[in-house]
Structure formats: structure tokens, C-alpha cells
Amino acid sequence: MWTPPCGQFTLSDQLGTGREWSPAIGLVVLAWLLTVGAAAWFAALWLTGSDPAGRLIAGAAVVVAGVAALFGTRARPRLRADATA
């Protein structure tokens, strides 16, 4: 069994499935749902014109959730470098 340089084994190495790393689809969907919810919250606060601190928090939530969702969507599996490549 091949051992990575740092001595760590992945579950796929132990099971022999050969699956590379990729983001979990459930977490990506959850991030997009949080982004939509935060955007709706921000829009509601913006349209009512009240609570400037809440608008700031909601806007920050939209940005953070959107960046996380975009990263999870665009993240690619790592390439495997071994003797079979």
C-alpha cells in the first residue's frame, strides 16, 4: 500500500475505491440555500428601510455565504500522482 509523504491515509486509500477529493454536494447545496435566504433577508431589510445594523449583518452574510457556495461549486478534485498516471 502506498503511503503519502506525511504518513496519512485517506478513507478511499483504505477502501481501495480510488475516489479523489471533492466538495460534498449536500454542503454546496446548503451554502446556496443559505445565500438565497440571506439575500431575501437583506432585500426585506433594504425595502423596509429600517435597521441599518441589520442590513450590514445581512449583507455580510450574503457575501460570506455566496463566496463559500461559489468556492464549493468551482472547487475541482485534486489530481492523483501515482504510478498508474
pTM: 0.65
Which H or E run includes 53? helix 52-74
Please give the grid coordinates belonging to residue 15: 477502501
Q: What percent of the chain has pLDDT over 90?
A: 46
Give residue limits of the domains in the chain.
19-74
Round to whole Å and give the CA distance between 39 and 46.
10
| pLDDT > 80? residue 11 | no
CB 62 within 8 A of CB 39: yes
pLDDT band at 24 (very low <50, low <70, confident <90, very high): confident
Least confident of 16-30, 40-54, 64-78: 16-30
Round to whole Å and give the CA distance between 48 and 46.
6
pLDDT band at 1 (very low <50, low <70, confident <90, very high): low
Which H or E run includes 27? helix 25-48
